[in-house]
Homo-oligomer: A and B are copies of this chain.
Amino acid sequence: MADKYVPTREDRFSFGIWTVGWQGTDVFGGPVRPPMAADRAVRKLAELGAYGVNFHDNDVFDFDDAATERDAKITAFKKALEETGTVVTTATTNLFGHPMFKDGAFTANEREVRRFALAKVMRNLDLAAELGARTYVFWGGREGAESGAAKDVRAALDRYAEGLNTLSQYVLDQGYQIRFAVEPKPNEPRGDILLPTVGHALAFINSLEHPEMVGVNPEVGHEEMAGVNYAHGIAQALWHGKLFHIDLNGQHGPRYDQDLRFGAGNARGAFWVVDTLLAGGYDGPVHFDFKPPRTEDDDGVWESAKACMTNYLILRDKVRAFRADPEVVAALAASRAGELAQPTLASGETWRDVRETTVDADALGARGLGYERLDQLALEHLYGTR
């Protein structure tokens, strides 16, 4: 198995620095692992087969670092990137950790916070551009509210749009080759977060000044926290031409944000995620945003990181085998799955040509669609028994 599922640079796997670097602090307990310098994360991830990384500014240096400290840490980070040939595919800003962001950043009621947030992003956009990142993620984890009067949602959306518009202009004016990707989440750490699902984010993007610069970065767990189908979500994003990035991980439905390694959580869902990415021609980084559980030491951190990639490779194999299986092809035909690609109106037809359509309703009602057969074939491919 080792040979077959060992990641290569061509697989374009990437990780957030904060994933393997998570120390395990949660609401009920403190850190269980020591801090990890960004450069160590880079070296270890490269060793495991990742080709790229994503970082928040404060994954590399601390919020309060003096300039020299900051620069030293960035230098070490760059050195590790260079020495390992690791690509910075993506970057993002920590606009949620510091207490000043407790009410959000772009949509904080306090204008001073909003202005500083823009400055903080611009500074990290410079670093991102310097490091060659092509995608810049916006996860608005603190943009939201626990109670109704606290946040005027329409005003907040105005400010959210203003923030992204300003930053789009910054990128254009600087000539950076960077696109934005909005990452939706329904709740946690806020009671309700603005742009809670991939749908809300896609709709919002259409109202921006530079919609062409902005797409989405859907995360498996975030969509599953809302009980919606992640594969359907990325399919709709692809349909809109807006799947700029993905965050793969695992989750068990509506509950706290689990950030399990990819493959854990909804195993059948993961199969369809990979199928959707392959079918949709997604060519961005295959990015993992997970948290090694608090039960793990340093070894466990790397076990879980490696497993994200292994599981993707296994599922990719299975998906290809599924689509190539003649029994599947036959079952898809029996389910008339391909017929859906055929327009409802023939070329040249208008509503006039269907206005008087009649059917044998009873016959259509009695016809089965054979989806159980089809789904069982998929499950047996997942099991590896066919």
Contact = CB atoms under 8 A, between A and B. Distances in A.
Interface in A254-269: 254-258, 260-261, 263-268
A224 to B, nearest CB: 8
Contacts of A100: 359, 361, 364-365
Nearest to A192: B229
A113 B361 CA distance: 9
Contacts of A260: 146, 191
A37 interface: no
A41 interface: no
- Count of chain copies: 4
Given A351-B169, A357-B116, A376-B307, A187 B256 contact: yes
B340 A239 contact: no
A379 interface: yes
A375 B198 contact: no
Interface string A202-240: 111011000000000000000001111101110110111
Interface in A65-109: 96-103, 106-109
A311 B255 contact: no
A48 interface: no
Nearest to A317: B385
Nearest to A171: B351
Contacts of A1: 380, 385-386
A26 interface: yes
Contact of A256 (B108, B207, B257, B364): B257
Interface residues of A, number: 172
B256 A255 contact: yes
Contact of A239 (B153, B239, B261, B335): B153
Interface string A126-170: 000000000000000110011111111111111100110011011
A151 B232 CA distance: 10
Contact of A199 (B198, B235, B332): B198
A353 B236 CA distance: 38
A285 interface: no
A293 B372 contact: yes
Best-buried of A295, A300, A304, A314 by chain B (most CB within 10 Å): A295
Interface in A26-77: 26-32, 63
A272 interface: yes
A294 B145 CA distance: 11
Interface string A355-378: 111110100111111111111111
A111 interface: yes
Best-buried of A147, A162, A260, A294 by chain B (most CB within 10 Å): A147
B154 A238 contact: yes
A231 B148 contact: yes
Contacts of A378: 147-149
A112 interface: yes
B119 A355 contact: yes
A226 B225 CA distance: 8
A370 B300 contact: yes
A275 interface: yes
